[in-house]
Amino acid sequence: MGAWGTGIFSDDNAADLRDDYRDLIGDGVAGPEATDRLIAQWSPRGDPDLEPVFWLALSLTQWSCGRLEAQVKAEALRVIEDGSAIRPWLGGPDERKRRKVLDAARAKLESPQPPEQKIKKRKLATCDWERGELLAYRMLSGEFLVLRMLDLKVDKGGAYPNCELLDWHGSELPAQGLPDTTPARELKDYGGGKRLMILSIGKRFLKDRLTRLNIKHQLPETYSRVPRGHPNPTRITSWKDFDHLLEKSYQLR
């Protein structure tokens, strides 16, 4: 997506860099070594688009963590002063707003930073569901729905299931299973999409509401997958918000 606003972290690279730095510190890497690793990984020097994003994001992240390094601070102030950080906004409708953002960034970097913070190691989400596996979800009404596992989305936060909701519901678990050809429901408010990526929540919730049926559909290799570059819309939700999604997007409750 790139940049979607004038804020320092309204940029995919800036947000990723912030996460990368905090993950390294959380893993026990010393601050200067974390900086060296990120410079080597991102190679910002000499890249007119990346360099201001890199130094501003890294410096403000370090400042917030109480770990601002003199070298990083100097580089961030440099890209503000030499105009690199304002260049994409020059002459545009957001130039003034961006200048205010940079003024605020400069003021923060030149102010005393907070005490050094302890950064916790990121706890990665896990999922051991298999492609084609069926799982029953108990709605608030007590009736059951069935999800079919498609594949995993794996990123820095861990592994998250991509599923689809089958066109079936009942008052009891489908002990005999469902045919492999059971169609998936379309999300009524999502342009006909069917895929759901579901974020994690506590195991107690899943124990009370979700049941693995020990039934697995044989899905063709190409099922639910599209060639790279073609749209395959996926609705992102969480177990916490799943009941609301069922009502809003499927008219189920």
> pLDDT digits over 62-94, tens only?
999 999 999 999 999 999 999 999 999 999 999
At 122, the pLDDT band (50, 70, 90 cuts) reads confident
pLDDT tens figures, 178-201 = 999 999 999 887 666 889 998 876
Q: Which amino acid is at 102?
A: L
Angle between helices 31-42 and 50-64 (to 10 degrees): 160
pTM comes to 0.61
φ and ψ of 134, to 5 deg: -105, 140
With vertex at residue 65, the alpha carbon angle to CA 63 and CA 69, rounded to the nearest 5 degrees, is: 50
Instruction: Say if residue 1's pLDDT is above 80.
Output: no
Task: Give the SS3 label for residue 46.
Answer: coil
Confidence (pLDDT) at 199 = 84
Residue 36 CB contacts under 8 Å (≥ 6 apart), including other chains: none
Residue 133 CB contacts under 8 Å (≥ 6 apart), including other chains: 148, 149, 212, 213, 215, 216, 217
Query: Which range in 1-15, 136-150, 194-208 is most confidently predicted, on average pLDDT?
Result: 136-150
Q: Which amino acid is at 167?
A: D
Instruction: Say if residue 125's pLDDT is above 60.
Output: yes
